[in-house]
Amino acid sequence: MPATMGASTRTAGPGGLRRLAHHTIFWPVVALIALLVANTLYSPDFLAVSILDGHLFGAPIDILRNSAPLLLVSLGMTLVIATRGIDLSVGAVVAIAGALSLSFIATSPNPGSVTTVLVAIAIALGLCLLLGVWNGFLVSVVGIQPIIATLILMTAGRGVAMLITEGQITTVNSAPFKTLGAGFWLGLPAAALIAYGVYVVVALITRRTALGMLVESVGINPSASRLAGVRARTIVWTVFALSGLFSGLAGLILASNVMAADANNAGLFIELDAILAVVIGGTSLQGGKFSLSGTLVGVLIITTLTLTVTIVGISPLVTPLFKALVVIAVTLLQSPRVRERLAARQRQRVAKPEEVAA
């Protein structure tokens, strides 16, 4: 690929660029780069990374760490959306994971021991997996529409979290558990390593096994897939279970960040951010073809945007407005109709100079 680039840049350049511009994640990447450039213009050392106490520090590292929970949630959401579903319950699952793990650690005789923390993590993840299985059961076996089926847990889940924390905001001191969200490993934030590690594993599994193709097949044409012998039900069930599991992991990281189980606010509206990230990444809400790399870019855009608002000094209260603006821009650029208009205008503009040149 790089070899051909050099030789044929002049002739194939515009065509290649146009093809690149038609790639689904072209505009999201442009938006991300534009955001980073804007930040660098505002504060020139935005992209600088320094080493402090053997750890990497700087805005790019912050973005990596802050994006971890959203990346995990969006990962599950991408797979669910690819099967024509949607999972609204992820925020509630995040809250439950935090509440359960911290409450367990708080009531244990030895909050600082690694064993306690590992058991807490296992219990929380186990329950979240079960919640995902429950969602999957409602959708694939009972046949409830995904938006309604997961709405049940979205509403009930916060109540469950409240029950676990008994209405208190439980604060905990546990060094091993704090590592999850705030620790470093090999100079990098542990949270980012976990989330990006899971991302790579899922990306490999979906593309190295047949899972990705079967998920897409079910999302594109469920009845044709059934007749072809695809276990459509099992696949739908599996993606909801995974979504629950990943949301649980995100909940653990978020809880470890603040070391307090807040049943009301942990993971609030994260389902909407996750759906945004998936849509920005070019996966259609109608299901079918999905793009994990697109989702990654979408997650980075949303995280960078949140950080930008903080750096520029705008009140965090208006962050949603900025998110909305970026989303509008990216989705408009991806819409086939807008693209057609733009392409038509470009052709008009391009046509004239070419005549002159000839």
Positions that interact with another protein (CB under 8 A): 208-211, 213-214, 216-217, 220-221, 223-231, 235, 288-289
Helix axes 59-82, 190-208, angle to 10 degrees: 30
What letters, b where the CB count within 10 A reaches 16 and e where it falls short, cover 123-149? ebbebbbebbbbbbebbbeeebebeeb
Name the minimum Å distance from CB 290 to another protein.
Answer: 11
Q: How far is CA 14 from the centre of its chain?
A: 33
Smallest gap from Cβ 292 to another protein, in A, equals: 16
- The token duo for 98 is 């935090």
Name the residue among 126, 73, 63, 22 with its Cα closest to residue 251: 73
Long-range CB contacts (within 8 A, 24+) of 142-151: 146/80, 146/84, 146/85, 146/86, 146/87, 147/86, 147/88, 150/86, 150/87, 150/88, 150/89, 151/88, 151/89
Give the CA distances from residue 276 to residues 248, 253, 307, in Å, rounded to whole numbers and listed in that order.
20, 21, 17
As a whole number of angstroms, the distance between CA 218 and CA 150 comes to 19
Q: How near is the Cβ of 218 to another protein at its closest, in Å?
A: 9
Residues contacting 306, CB < 8 A, separation 6+:
66, 319, 323
Which residue's structure tokens are 């005549």?
355
Smallest gap from Cβ 297 to another protein, in A, equals 21
Nearest approach in angstroms of CB 148 to another protein is 17
In angstroms, give the least distance from the CB of 130 to another protein: 22
Judged by CB, which is closer to another protein: 223, or 315? 223
**The two structure tokens encoding residue 281:** 């990444």
Least separation in angstroms between residue 228's CB and another protein is 5
Compute CA distances 277 → 53, 139, 167, 281, 313, whole Å. Answer: 33, 23, 31, 6, 24
Query: Please, what is the minimum distance in Å from the beta carbon of residue 217 to another protein?
Result: 5
Query: Are 214 and 206 within 8 A, CB to CB?
Result: no
Distance CA(250)–CA(258), nearest Å, equals 13
